[in-house]
Amino acid sequence: MDSNLLNNNRIRDRFKPVQRPLAWMDIPKETWNRWTWQQQKRLRTEDQLAQVLTVFDDERAALDASKELFDLAITPYYASLIEPNNPLCPIRLQCIPKPGELDPAAYELSDPLAEDSHMPVPGITHRYPDRVLFYTTHHCAVYCRHCTRKRKVSDPSTAATQQQLEQGLNYIAAHPEVRDILISGGDPLSNSDDRLEYILERLRAIEHVEILRLCTRNLVTLPQRITLNLAQILKKYHPIYVHTHFNHPKECTREAFDACALLADAGCVLNNQMVLLRGVNDDPAVVLELNQKLLMMRVKPYYIFQCDMAQGLSHLRTPIAKGIEIIDSLRGWTSGIAVPHFVVDLPGGGGKVSLLPEYVMKREGKKWLFRNYQNIPFEYFDAD
C-alpha cells in the first residue's frame, strides 16, 4: 500500500465514528448517512429531546420560554454527541437553551455587528471596501444557542426569496470594487445542490469577483451534507474557501474527518472560526486539542472569536482576558499553524481587532526587550 495512504489511514483511525443512542440504533446505515433524513428527523421539541437524553429542569423552562425567540433544531447526528446525563456537556450547551438566554443584559444588542444597518439591498451586508456578506438562506441544520444572528436565523418569514437572491447578485455585479463574497446565512449548505450551484455559477460569471467563501457549520452538525456531488460542484468554481465553526474536540469525529477530506480533496481551503464560550472551550487544553485535531482534518484554525454582544449570551460569554490567555498558552507550545487569531468583532460594525498577549517587556531607543513563550527575556536591536 502507498505509504502516504497508510499514513492518512492511521490519522483517520484516531477519529472515532459517532455512537448513536439506543433510539437510533436500528436505523440502517444508508438512511442515517442521508443528509435529507438527518434534516427531516431533527429534534424540534422537548418530547423528542427526552427520547434520547435527560432534559433538565432549567432546560425545560428555557425551552418553553424561548420557543418564540429562537427555534430548537438538532440533527440526530449532532444529538448523538451529547452526553445524555451531563447538564454541562459542551455539545449540550451549544444547542439546548439555558435560562441565561432569556435574560439579556442591558448592553447586549439584537444586531451586535450592525449588519442590518449596512444593508444596501436585502440580503447583502456591505461594510468593508472589497467584500460583502451574502445571505442566501436563514435555515441551519442545528440552531446554535450562541448565534449572533438570532434576530433572523430560524425565522422562516425572513428566508431569502429568489427575488432577494437576484437583487443580491445584481448588487454584486454592479459593484466592481467587490472582489470577495462571503456566502452566508443561516447556513448556505441548507440550500439544495441545484440552488447552491446556481448561486456559485452566477457569482463566478461576474468578472470582478475573485474569492468565494462558504460559511458553513454543516461539517460540524451535519457532515452527511458533504456529498461527492456537492464536492464536485464546488470544484468547478474555485477558488473557494470554506469557513467552518468547530468549537470543541468532541465535534471532531470520523464523519467530520471524512467530510473535511472530501472538501479538501476537491480543492477547497478549510478554515475554522471557533467562538469562545464559557463551559464549552474556555480552557487552553481544550483549544489545544481542538486545534491539533483540526490540523489533522486539514482545517486551519483561523479565528477564535470573542463571543459577540448579542442578546441573551452573557451566560456563555467569557472575559476578553480569557482569549488572550488561550493564545499565550498556544504560541510556542505548539505549531504556529495551530495558533489562530483571537479577535473581537467590534459592536456597531467597527470590524475585527486582533488581540495578542504582551510580548514586549521594554523598549529603550533601538533596544527591544521581549519575553518568549517561556517568559525568558531576549534583546533585539533595530537597525540604524
Which parts of this chain interact with ligand SF4 (CB under 6 A)? 140, 143-144, 147, 149, 153, 185-187, 217
- In the bound complex, what is the minimum distance in angstroms from residue 154's beta carbon to ligand SF4? 7
- Is 149 annotated as catalytic? yes
| Cβ atoms 240, 214 nearer than 8 A | yes
Reading the block at residue 201, the C-alpha cell is: 455559477
- Is 307 annotated as catalytic? no
Identity of the residue, 140 or 206, whose beta carbon is nearer to ligand SF4 in the bound complex = 140
End-to-end CA distance of the chain: 57
Nearest in space to 270 (alpha carbons), one of 298, 306, 304, 234: 298
- Is 128 annotated as catalytic? yes
* Strand spans (E) along the chain: 124-128, 131-135, 180-184, 211-215, 240-244, 269-275, 299-305, 341-346, 351-355, 360-364, 367-371, 377-381
- Residue from 111, 187, 282, 308 carrying the catalytic annotation: 308
- Residue from 42, 131, 152, 217 carrying the catalytic annotation: 131
Burial of residue 3, with CB atoms counted within 10 A of its CB: 0-12 exposed, 13-18 middle, 19 or more buried: exposed
| Cβ atoms 173, 71 nearer than 8 A | no
Identity of the residue, 126 or 146, whose beta carbon is nearer to ligand SF4 in the bound complex = 146
- In the bound complex, what is the minimum distance in angstroms from residue 151's beta carbon to ligand SF4? 11
CA angle 22, 43, 14 (to 5 degrees): 55
- In the bound complex, what is the minimum distance in angstroms from residue 293's beta carbon to ligand SF4? 20
- Is 352 annotated as catalytic? yes
Q: Is 256 helix (H, G, I), strand (E, B) or coil?
A: helix
Identity of the residue, 282 or 308, whose beta carbon is nearer to ligand SF4 in the bound complex = 308
Identity of the residue, 244 or 329, whose beta carbon is nearer to ligand SF4 in the bound complex = 244
- Is 152 annotated as catalytic? no
| Cβ atoms 294, 252 nearer than 8 A | yes
Identity of the residue, 155 or 325, whose beta carbon is nearer to ligand SF4 in the bound complex = 155
- Is 359 annotated as catalytic? no
Identity of the residue, 313 or 327, whose beta carbon is nearer to ligand SF4 in the bound complex = 313
- Is 308 annotated as catalytic? yes
- Is 225 annotated as catalytic? no
- In the bound complex, what is the minimum distance in angstroms from residue 378's beta carbon to ligand SF4? 41
- In the bound complex, what is the minimum distance in angstroms from residue 22's beta carbon to ligand SF4? 28
- Is 362 annotated as catalytic? no
Backbone φ and ψ for 275, nearest 5 degrees, come out as -105, 130
- Residue from 60, 352, 359, 373 carrying the catalytic annotation: 352
- Residue from 147, 252, 260, 307 carrying the catalytic annotation: 147
- Residue from 149, 150, 152, 217 carrying the catalytic annotation: 149
CA gyration radius, the chain: 22
- Residue from 187, 282, 328, 345 carrying the catalytic annotation: 345
- Is 130 annotated as catalytic? no
- In the bound complex, what is the minimum distance in angstroms from residue 2's beta carbon to ligand SF4? 37
Listing DSSP states for 290-327 in one string gives HHHHHHHTTEEEEEEEPPP-BTT-TTT---HHHHHHHH
Catalytic annotation, residues: 127-128, 131, 140, 144, 147, 149, 308, 345, 352
